[in-house]
Amino acid sequence: MNTYNWDCKTVDVHPSEEGQTNVIYNVHWRVTATSDAVDANDNAFSATSIGTQSLEFNSDGDFIAFDELSHANIIDWVKAAMGEEQVTSLESGLDSQISELQTPTSITMVIEDEAVEEEAAEEEEAEGGE
C-alpha cells in the first residue's frame, strides 16, 4: 500500500488584489508516494511528481489571510482546483512508478567485452602504465 505526501508550501502571490494582501494565485506542489514495501536495503520504494496549480481568487468567498493559512488549506485548494479525476490519475501514476521499481519490466545492462578491455590494457601498458 502506498501513502501520499502533498507538499504545497511554495506559492506565488499577488502583493495586493481587490483590497486583500498576499493573495495566492499559483502553488508549486510536490507529491511523493511511499510504499510500505522495502527493497533489499530496507529502503521504502517511492516516487515523486512535481508541478504547479493556478488558483482563482474569489472575492465573494471567505478570504483567509496569508499568515493565518495552514498547509492543509493550501493542499485542499490545490486538490479542489485539480479535480478528483486529476488527483486520482496523479496518484495512480505514482503507484505505477513504484510498481515498476518493485518489479521492473525493463532494465539497462552493459555488455562486458573482453577484447575491448584487453585492448585498453595493452594501450595503457604501451604508454608506460602499469
The pLDDT tens digits of the residues spanning 2-19 come to 999 999 999 999 999 999
Determine contact, residues 70/47, Cβ cutoff 8 Å: no
**Order of all β-strands in the sheet with 44-54:** 2-17, 20-38, 44-54
Residue 83 DSSP one-character state: -
Q: How far apart are CA 18 and CA 24, in angstroms?
A: 13
Q: Give the three cell numbers for residue 1.
A: 500500500
Q: How many domains does the structure of the chain reveal?
A: 1
Range of 85's domain? 2-126
Q: How far apart are CA 129 and CA 114, in angstroms?
A: 19
pLDDT at 129: 57
pTM comes to 0.79
